[in-house]
Amino acid sequence: MEQKEADLYQRTTDVFLKNGIRESTMDDMAKELKVSKKTLYKYVSNRPELVTKSMKWKMAENEKALSAILSKNLNAIEELCEITNFYCGNLKDVHPSIHIDLNKYYKDAWNEYVNYRNNFLYNVILSNI
């Protein structure tokens, strides 16, 4: 993934998390990001694809952050505290309707999230225990 594309997904994820997914149209997204809709459609073919790719980008970034925490070789309690602090810091920026919107309207993105939660996060916590 090229840097410009990664920046686009970072910025779209920030907008989705701040405003909610259903509240952010492609026009609003282009305006907020200060790019044309043509630029958005260069990387995705439709809105559900943008949501899915943005969520995948966010989960990959979370995996990198958690891997950095795990590489510190902390004891189990300190590690769990760091992971909790990381996710609490992320949750304060999340629009309340994100999970509902994903589950109801964007099944592919929701399935990616559930897979991430049930596999990666579960294994991180299990290894900590």
Decide if 87 contacts 120 (C-beta within 8 A).
no
**Tens digits of residue pLDDT in 1-49:** 788 888 999 999 999 988 889 988 898 888 888 989 998 898 899 999 9
* Per-residue pLDDT at 93: 80
* Per-residue pLDDT at 58: 93
Measured CA to CA, the distance from residue 112 to residue 124 in angstroms comes to 17
Q: Which residue type occupies 88?
A: C
Which CATH entry fits the domain spanning 3-128: 3.40.50.410, 3.40.50.11390, 3.30.530.50, 1.10.357.10? 1.10.357.10
**Long-range contacts of the stretch 107-112 (C-beta < 8 A, 24+):** 108/48, 108/52, 109/48, 109/51, 109/52, 109/55, 112/52, 112/55, 112/56, 112/59
Q: Which residue type occupies 83?
A: I
**Tens digits of residue pLDDT in 36-55:** 999 889 889 999 999 999 99
Q: What is the pTM of this model?
A: 0.87
